Structure 1
Amino acid sequence: MNIIDRIEAAKPNFTKSDELIYNCIKEDYWIIIREASTIVDLAEKCRVSKSAILRFAKKLGYSGYSEFKYDFSLVGHSSVPEEVHESKFDYILDSYTLAIKNIRQYLKEQDFITLAKKVLRAKKIRLCGYNRSGFTAMQFKYRLINIDIESEVVTDTLMLNVLASSSAENEIFFFFTVRGISSTPLNAFIQTCYETKKTVVVVTMNPNTIYKKYATHFILLPNIKVKGVFLDEQAIFHIFIEILVSYISERLLIEENQTSGQGS
């Protein structure tokens, strides 16, 4: 059941505030994706309180506004008619552009600063992915090599089982998993990493993944599925990597300057 079906099913139990939100969204549900960048913005447009928006989202079965907005983004991406674009070329570019712009709705600068510090403090950096996400993990490794940081790519379940179960201290594991579902072989080891006190970074496009509760840092990115065109979501993972590597590089330079200053 998509979010539109959820709303229609819940209509008999709507309050007056719910009706205001419903009518606002019904006129143009793209205001959630295109115009309203925060829950406060949407509340102002619907002329209700922020808490009313949260209650509305929870009435539909969502834990919070980010999940609510995420499902709207899926509907929005899948309902843009290709005919409104001059060409398929424009359609594809616009789809990627929208997804990239939406990253700022999911992450803040502080998220990247925090992760950069964690990466630099870690004794071991493990980059985990399966299938196409394995290539994403490898791309992350290449980018880290460019700033003289060593890491290990793990795409094999046997190897990950050993590494996840070990008692080594101060390790950080990045798990790239688009769907965040149990059928993806490497995902089963996210819980193991959590239980063995590893720093676990889960990077996914599924706000409802069962592995969210095992993440030290849960990174949710926008989905790029569109109607009638197959586009690979890994591109959004790569954008995330480029932003993070930039912050790691900047933090590395800061720490080097601090060290040289103390030495002089």
Structure 2
Amino acid sequence: MAEDFYDFTSAKINSLSNTEKQIFNFVVRNMHLVKNMSIRDLAAACFVSTTTLFRFVKKLGFSGYSEFTAMIRLTERTSKNITIPNVISKKDYQEDYLKNVIEAVKVISNDKIDLFNRIMDRYPVVYILGLGLSADVAQYLRRILTVLGYHAETPVEDYEINSVLKRIKREDVLMVLSYSGNNRKLARYIEQIVTVATPTIISITRADNNIIQNMSDLNFYMFADDISIDGIDITSRCGMIAVIETLMYKRITELK
């Protein structure tokens, strides 16, 4: 049996049906729960039959449900949070770092890319929210979008958000960058914006179930090992950048 769920399944994702892709997304975001679920429990959580779920497991290449959950447990256990420099070796971190970036790109389905392109075909005004390290990524995304001919803004301060509240329209896009997906300040900003307009919300967050992902119309997920020094978050945003660049380069291809 392969040692990593993502490596084992990545080549098979695009062959899944829409229903199976929804099951896959649920599994990836809720590995900590799925690892202990029976096939009936998971089927109920995904609103499908056990027959559909068993067919999904076989389509991913597993011999059965037990092998499926065994690999999830192994993957979930080996991707626990880490702190440097005392816990892991430099060699291990380099390998995990590269794998996280690669997996962030591998799990982007063609359906999600097509939906993203349909949204961006409208050439909406794009408001990008990001705090902490994600704020720097937001600036990078704004520059790319500007080069592609979009009007893009990166409000950060409360007064800038207040300005957005007066101008944002239903046909606009709100892009939210948050590694944890549980940033309360960002969630509050989204709630304020949704009360005055209902823009399309596109987010990039970590893979597990989170507040911002649940508030989004379209969510892309990244992988990273949580890293902090003296309580300050320095978790890599390279997975987030990889997702952005994949979407943007695909967008450039569409425009040619």
TM-score for both structures, normalised by structure 2: 0.64
Query: In 2, are the aligned partners of 1:194 and 1:215 still within 8 Å (CA)?
Result: no
Aligned to 2:255: 252
Structure 2 counterpart of 1:34, one-letter code: D
Within 1, Cα distance between the matches of 2:226 and 2:40?
A: 25
SS in 2 for 1:35: helix
Aligned to 1:139: 140
Aligned to 1:32: 5
Matched, 1:156 2:157: yes
Within 2, Cα distance between the matches of 1:100 and 1:70?
A: 19
Query: In 1, are the aligned partners of 2:203 and 2:213 still within 8 Å (CA)?
Result: yes
Larger Rg: 1
> Which piece of structure 1 moves more, 106-115 or 30-39?
30-39
Aligned to 1:94: 95
Cα deviations across residues 57-96 of structure 1 (Å, max 9, x unaligned)?
7848x9559xx9988655323489x9xxxx72x4333112
Structure 2 counterpart of 1:219, one-letter code: F
Matched, 1:129 2:130: yes
Query: In 1, are the aligned partners of 2:201 and 2:215 still within 8 Å (CA)?
Result: yes
Q: Percent identity?
A: 12
SS in 1 for 2:96: helix
Structure 1 unaligned runs (5+)? Answer: 1-27, 42-49, 254-264
SS in 1 for 2:176: strand
1:1-264 to 2 correspondences below 5 Å: 30-37=3-10, 56=38, 59=41, 63=45, 73-78=75-80, 88=90, 90-104=91-105, 106-164=107-165, 166=167, 168-183=169-184, 185-195=185-195, 196-225=197-226, 232-253=235-256
Structure 2 counterpart of 1:56, one-letter code: S
Aligned residues: 206
SS in 1 for 2:8: coil
Structure 2 counterpart of 1:35, one-letter code: F
Within 2, Cα distance between the matches of 1:97 and 1:138?
A: 24
SS in 1 for 2:154: strand
For residue 179 of structure 1, report the CA deviation from its aligned partner. 0.9
Query: In 1, are the aligned partners of 2:124 and 2:150 still within 8 Å (CA)?
Result: no
Within 1, Cα distance between the matches of 2:73 and 2:177?
A: 20
TM-score for both structures, normalised by structure 1: 0.62
For residue 194 of structure 1, report the CA deviation from its aligned partner. 3.7
For residue 112 of structure 1, report the CA deviation from its aligned partner. 1.9
